[in-house]
Structure 1
Amino acid sequence: MEIGKRIRQLRKAKKMTILELATSAGSDVGNISRLETGKQGFSETTIKKIASALGVKVSDLFTEEEITVPLTTEQVEKPFTIDVLDAEASAGGGRVSTTEVAETITSIVYDTARALEIFGHRPAETIKVITVTGDSMSGTIETGDYIFIDVSKDYFDGDGIYVFSFKDAVMVKRLQFTADGLLVRSDNKTYTDWLITEKNEQHLKVIGRVIYSHGISRYV
């Protein structure tokens, strides 16, 4: 294997960009790029610096043998950790909010693959978990269920299920755009739909959009 291709292989195994390698080796992006593509030669000093930046021996750059490239602490995949908050949203008439700051009481940890499957590419810090009380969303979300909220969506972002406060009452409902305003809907049809209009929208504060729920079975 050509040394340029070998350097590129080891760089990618270490999850380094060309810029990161160039910076660590005291070179520049252009030189590293040309070296990797075989358009530029190399000196003994350059090779020593590149090997050191990659955490390998110089001889490792001239062999095709598989080696383990050490990763830095930052490069090791961190678990996807979501905060569970000491807060509730009412799927009913609304739970009075006494504070806008909720304490983290525990956390839920996912491996990277599972987190990607459930949450896509959303950052962990934008997702919070709270519990639901009430039955207005029954059939979709039951009382006691955990709901996962994307708190970066603290505004109406299209029809969907949201956690929001209205006149200081925190609730979880569907919000649907209409010509007359935002229609607040419950999946339990015993609850009446109502409108948020320009006349009362000052009382609305969107906390986040519900992206996932997890049911809890209770037997006592």
Structure 2
Amino acid sequence: MNIGKRIREIRQRRDMTITDLAEAIGSDAGNISRLETGKQKSFTEDLLGRIAEALAINVNDLFTHNETDYTVHKTSSPVESEQKDGNVFRVEILDVSASAGEGYVSGSDVVDIIHSIVYNAEHAAALFGGRPESAVKVINVRGDSMSGTLEPGDLIFVDVAVRQFDGDGIYVFGFDDKIHVKRLQMVPDRILVLSDNTKYREWAIEKSNEHRFYIYGKVLISQTQEFRRHG
């Protein structure tokens, strides 16, 4: 999804100039221009929050969802009727910040924009291979290191029952104080950390640094957050 394009659309509907928006969030027009044109591909949760506030929208409104398949909840309050209905499957956020310690994990590859998604149970069973609610979590991708496979803002659904290397694939993992979304590949005596965006270099998890490495889960599926206007 091109978040910059979405910001520009909403800004223009508000009759705001780039300068107006920049002043409202305490930035400069050049930064807003780079974000809207896609030259700046990474963004922080704080930046999105300030932009959303200036545009008088919820942060969630910078992203899209399909009403027919699921409901995105913008608050942490439980929906009592849904909990009583056995035909729903709630996917909660993968709270990696809490798992890594209090406060924001700087420079991470994920951002918690959506709180939870509720699916029809039958649809969820097909999507997630019959896994229980407790094993599936969702979070948004930040940054472009996996561009070509995962784009900034995409939703990724993670099997959190996988807490160790379980074959080649895309994982959410911690290394020191950063959370990564990368492809992991086993080779003799080490695990390669690969970015699908070729401008990022590969690195490795080895015996000498494996104590700094922790797996939060393995990515099952992803969903693009690209906006398409039909009216």
How many Å apart are 1:118 and its aligned residue? 0.7
Unmatched 5+ residue regions in structure 1?
1-73, 89-94
Give me the whole-angstrom Cα distance separating, in 2, the residues matched to 1:108 and 1:177. Answer: 33
What are the within-5 Å matches in structure 2 for residues 97-136 of structure 1?
106-136=115-145
> 1:143: which partner in 2?
152
Judge conservation of contact 2:112–2:139 (CA < 8 Å) in 1: no
CA contact (8 A) 2:154 2:222 kept: yes
Identity %: 46
Q: Please name the residue that 1:211 is paired with.
A: 220
Indicate conservation of the 8 Å contact 2:113/2:140, yes or no. Answer: no
Give the secondary structure class of the aligned counterpart of 1:96: coil
- Which residue of structure 2 lines up, in the alignment, with residue 183 of structure 1? 192
AA in 2 matched with 1:147? I
Q: Secondary structure at the match of 1:177?
A: strand
Name the aligned partner's letter for residue 174 of structure 1: R
**Residues 112 and 140, structure 2, Cα contact 8 Å, conserved in 1:** no
Deviations 1:59-116 (A, max 9, x none): xxxxxxxxxxxxxxx997330111135668xxxxxx9369xxx999632111122111
Corresponding residue of 2:164: 155
Q: Distance in 1 between matches of 2:85 and 2:95?
A: 31
Q: Distance in 2 between matches of 1:81 and 1:125?
A: 9
Give matches, 1:164-203, under 5 Å.
Answer: 164-203=173-212
Alignment RMSD (CA, Å)? 2.9
Structure 2 gaps of 5+ residues are 1-82, 98-103
Deviations 1:127-178 (A, max 9, x none): 1111111111001100111111111101111110000000121010001000
Q: Is the 8 A contact 1:86 1:105 kept in 2?
A: no
One-letter code of the match for 1:114?
A: H
Displacement after TM superposition at 1:210 (Å): 0.5
TM-score, length-normalised on structure 2? 0.53
**114 and 162 in structure 1: CA distance in 2 versus 1, 3 angstrom threshold:** same
Aligned counterparts of 1:195 and 1:85: Cα–Cα separation in 2: 24
Equivalent residues of 2:174, 2:180 under 8 A apart: yes
Deviating more after overlay: 142-151 vs 75-84 = 75-84
TM-score by length of 1: 0.56
Structure 1 or 2, whichever has the larger Rg, is: 1
Give the alignment partner of residue 92 of structure 2, picking from 83, 89, 100.
Answer: 83
Aligned length: 137
Q: Show the counterpart of 2:29.
A: none
Change in 2 beyond 3 A, CA 1:76/1:144 = closer
